[in-house]
Structure 1
Amino acid sequence: MPLTQIQIIQSLGEALSWFEKELEWGVAPGELNHLTGRIGELYAAMITRGQMATTTNQRGYDVVSAEGERISVKTVTTSVQARFNTNTLELADRIMVLRINVDDDEGVSVETLLDIGRADFDGHLRRLSNGSIDFPIASRRKSTRPLDAQSIEAAESFGGYTVQQFESGSIGVLRHGNRVDVAKPVLRELAAQLGVDLLNGSGRPRNTRQLGAAIIKAIGSRHQ
């Protein structure tokens, strides 16, 4: 039975939640292929308003879009290439390469590296001497726009520190007016002093953005 869009979104949330739990247990992202593949397929089905392939291990494609396109989905974490099967690639109408990024500041996110029609895909491939083909993946590049060039959405001061939340959602900390290079350790200290829980509502550690926002809120409530 086809999944509804709500069911696809719920399943994606559950898969991402389990992925985060595995990371907290110390499992390396590259060892979670059983989850990354499922997350990528659910994500592709969600953004194309499509459905998962009806056959397990369907040859050539993983998702069928709302327009009927057969989509081959490859999902990576730390890999520098996505490998494709030359014998089944022609069965797909569309190619999607996704990457699951793990960041202490942003948490877990899904990034689209490539979304292209099959007819235009060959120019992106690298052919290997053993006959295989792959899509080379560049290292992740974080935004180089400095915090000081962004507008401040919220800021509160406590105990010689100022915690700032910027337009991008990033968190910065000043110590007596000077930028702290790594915010997370300071945020943990402030959380202990302010009684802010280090865990979110799901019982998992808050990332930098979540913890910083909670601390700004806690300091602000003291000023009311």
Structure 2
Amino acid sequence: MSLSQTQIIRSLGEALAWFEKELAWGAPMGELRHLTGRIGELYAAMVTRGQMALAVNQSGYDVVSDEGERISVKTFTSSSHINFNASTLELADRVMVLQIVIDEGEPSIRELLDCSVEELKPKLKNLETNSYLPVHLLLTPKDGAAVVLADLKVVSSGFRSGFRVDQLENGTIQVWHDGKLEPQAKPVLRKLAGELGVEILNSVGNIKNTRSLGSDVLKALADQPPLTTSS
């Protein structure tokens, strides 16, 4: 059964949310391979406006784009190489290599490679039965120094239930309690959102990321009437 784009987007959001829950429960990312693979396939189907392969464990490819391209999707968290089955590689037309990384405590998807199978072949190293792609060929060092959050200006702040919510000039959301920075902002933001009546889902039914939810919480806090004291 084919899925609509809305269903694919919603399913991707749900899969990412479940991935985030597993991490919060202490599951190592390396043990979430099935979920990692599903996230990658849904992402590829979304960006190509395609469909998941109809057969379970379809040989050679995972997604069919809206233009009919058969796409082999490889998704990983941390690895030194990506394996390809030499006997089924020819069944695909296109290859996408994705990495799930943790950004500000949330999983996000990074596209490392999107090319035809013919363009992939010169990059592969060969073993007896399989071929592999060294990950270091795909990773490039980031330009410039890392952003130091302490050097950024606070552009918006709000207070509620003993917590201070800050939005930095780059959009980062920080939550403070008793002068200490909370290691994970989202759990507190969800609590505050519930108190303020702020929706935690976006317009397509996906859970808002930290920046979006934090921004909406700050807007709700700004709309709250000021506290008054009796004389």
What residue number does 1:36 align with? 36
SS of equivalent residue, structure 1 residue 54: coil
SS of equivalent residue, structure 1 residue 121: helix
Deviations along 1:113-141, one digit per CA (max 9) or x if unpaired, are: 1111111112332334x443222224686
What residue number does 1:166 align with? 168
Conservation of the 8 A alpha-carbon contact between 1:198 and 1:211: no
Determine the C-alpha separation between the residues in 1 that align with 2:214 and 2:185: 7
C-alpha distance 214-69 of structure 1, shift in aligned 2 (>3 A): closer
Q: Gaps (5+ residues) in structure 2?
A: 202-207
Determine the C-alpha separation between the residues in 1 that align with 2:217 and 2:69: 46
Is residue 2:124 matched to residue 1:120? no
Alpha-carbon RMSD across the aligned residues, in angstroms, is: 4.0
What residue number does 1:132 align with? 130
What residue number does 1:47 align with? 47
Is residue 2:74 matched to residue 1:74? yes
Give the superposition deviation at 1:44.
0.2
Determine the C-alpha separation between the residues in 2 that align with 1:87 and 1:7: 33
Q: What aligned pairs does 1:47-196 form with structure 2 within 5 A after superposition?
A: 47-103=47-103, 105-128=104-127, 130-138=128-136, 144-147=146-149, 153-155=155-157, 164-171=166-173, 183-184=181-182, 196=192
Give the superposition deviation at 1:55.
1.1
Determine the C-alpha separation between the residues in 2 that align with 1:12 and 1:131: 33
Conservation of the 8 A alpha-carbon contact between 2:173 and 2:185: no
Is residue 2:2 matched to residue 1:7? no
Determine the C-alpha separation between the residues in 1 that align with 2:184 and 2:61: 47
Conservation of the 8 A alpha-carbon contact between 2:173 and 2:214: yes
Deviations along 1:36-66, one digit per CA (max 9) or x if unpaired, are: 1111111100000001111111111110000
C-alpha distance 9-43 of structure 1, shift in aligned 2 (>3 A): same
Give the superposition deviation at 1:25.
1.6
SS of equivalent residue, structure 1 residue 19: helix
Moved more, 82-91 or 142-151: 142-151
Determine the C-alpha separation between the residues in 2 that align with 1:184 and 1:209: 15
Give the superposition deviation at 1:171.
4.0
Number of residues of Structure 1 aligned to a counterpart in Structure 2: 208
Conservation of the 8 A alpha-carbon contact between 1:196 and 1:214: no
Relative to the length of structure 2, the TM-score reads 0.70
Give the superposition deviation at 1:80.
2.3
Give the superposition deviation at 1:93.
0.7
Deviations along 1:81-112, one digit per CA (max 9) or x if unpaired, are: 21110111111111000111123x15111111
Give the superposition deviation at 1:207.
8.3
Relative to the length of structure 1, the TM-score reads 0.72
- The amino acid of 2:146's aligned partner reads T
Give the superposition deviation at 1:217.
5.6
Q: Gaps (5+ residues) in structure 1?
A: 175-179
C-alpha distance 207-17 of structure 1, shift in aligned 2 (>3 A): closer
